Amino acid sequence: MTLVRGHIVTEEGILENGTVRIDAGRIVEVSASSAGAGAVDVDLQGGWVVPGFIDLHCHGGFGGDFMDATIESYETITGFHGRHGTTTMLATTVTATKPDIDAVLQATAAYRDAASSRGARLLGVHLEGPFISPKWPGAQNPARIVPPNADWLQDWATAYPGLVKQLTLAPETEGAIGLIRELRKLGIIAAAGHTDATYDQLVDAVDAGLNQAVHTFNAMTPLHHRNPGVVGAVLTDARIVAEVIADGVHVHPAAVKLLTQTKTAGNLVLITDAMAAAGLGDGQYSLGGLDVTVRGGVARLTHGDSLAGSTLTMIEAFRFVVQRIGLSVPEASRLASANAAKQLGLGNELGAIRAGAAADLVLLTPELDIVRVYRDGVEIG
């Protein structure tokens, strides 16, 4: 049994100097009353208790890459991001061959089923590509881009039921609309990304079931007042959940603020899009077989100018939208936790501090520095 006191961010609002009691991996009580000093295990002294962060789009961290497809690499990634507040994440691939993607699915299934992780919960896989537009590859390998393939999807769904949680594709490509319909039948998030779609093509895809946009503003047709593009559809269609990399590099703070002012129906989520360099500093790295140079914390293709993922952590994104964009801590918490949980269909289990939910908590100082992170009631160290 663990009892934590602080400003607790709940679905209904803030419980100032309230308490959260956790036991056997669950939240068993959330109270506005302040327990006696001797009864409290952690007193945050005016700090915050927020739900564990959920990252739907992460390629790696601290030297590990999900494309490595090894248990050791996955332990490294989930441990690193877990220490930075992420309690649930999706193993995100890059555009690659089917055998390489198969290997990631196999490794993720084995890692998840082993239930031995001491870091973030690896819920499943986000397939970013290979069904994307060659006009907007970003840091994806153009040589590995292929048209949408329903047979591949069926193979993955049969071999690993429920493991694929999200698939990113270019919805304007031939066969994409049919694949989107199949994804939604399987309960998989269908996301637009690395796409040359027009506004009308994106809306048609949403009508077919597409329900997310990856790293909004990046690798997609931009907003123009006579040609609103993918960005125009994302900003104006409430059915689309928008991801954003809130690091001030991928998206200007003014554009992040625009998203927070237009996506107000629980349809904006913070992501890291982190790569292996996260947590390691400047130097030479690799992403999907492409050389990447990190300089000043910014990752770009060595041979080209495209941004190549990020070195971001979820706590840094959380602080960014509070300190640079001006969101309140509860508003930022929804973007970092509740909205992603809802998109995954796990709003009753994750992303909220309520009795009966998983004891996934991030404990913060008043300045939003991490004190402790709990996943299923166990501290991530």
Lowest mean pLDDT among 196-205, 283-292, 317-326: 283-292
Confirm whether residue 299 is marked as ligand binding.
Answer: no
The architecture (CATH level 2) of 53-350 comes to Alpha-Beta Barrel (3.20)
For the entire predicted model, the pTM comes to 0.97
What is the predicted pLDDT for the residue at 305?
83
CA angle 266, 11, 315 (to 5 degrees): 70
How much is the pLDDT for 34? 66
Mean pLDDT of 39-49: 94
Tell me the percentage of the chain whose pLDDT exceeds 70: 98
Q: Is 219 annotated as a binding residue?
A: yes
Does the annotation list 194 as a binding residue?
Answer: yes
Give the separation between CA 274 and CA 294, rounded to whole angstroms. Answer: 12
User: What is the tens place of the pLDDT at every residue in 271-316?
Assistant: 999 999 999 999 999 998 899 999 999 999 999 889 999 999 999 9
Domain ranges of the chain: 2-49+366-379, 53-350
Report, as residue numbers or ranges, the catalytic residues.
Answer: 273
Strand bridging mode 121-128 / 86-92: parallel
Quick one: pLDDT at residue 1?
A: 87
Strands 290-295 and 283-287, sheet pairing: antiparallel
Q: What is the pLDDT of residues 91-148, one digit of tens each?
A: 999 999 999 999 999 999 999 888 666 899 999 999 999 999 999 999 999 999 999 9
User: What pLDDT, on a 0 to 100 scale, did the predictor assign at position 288?
Assistant: 84
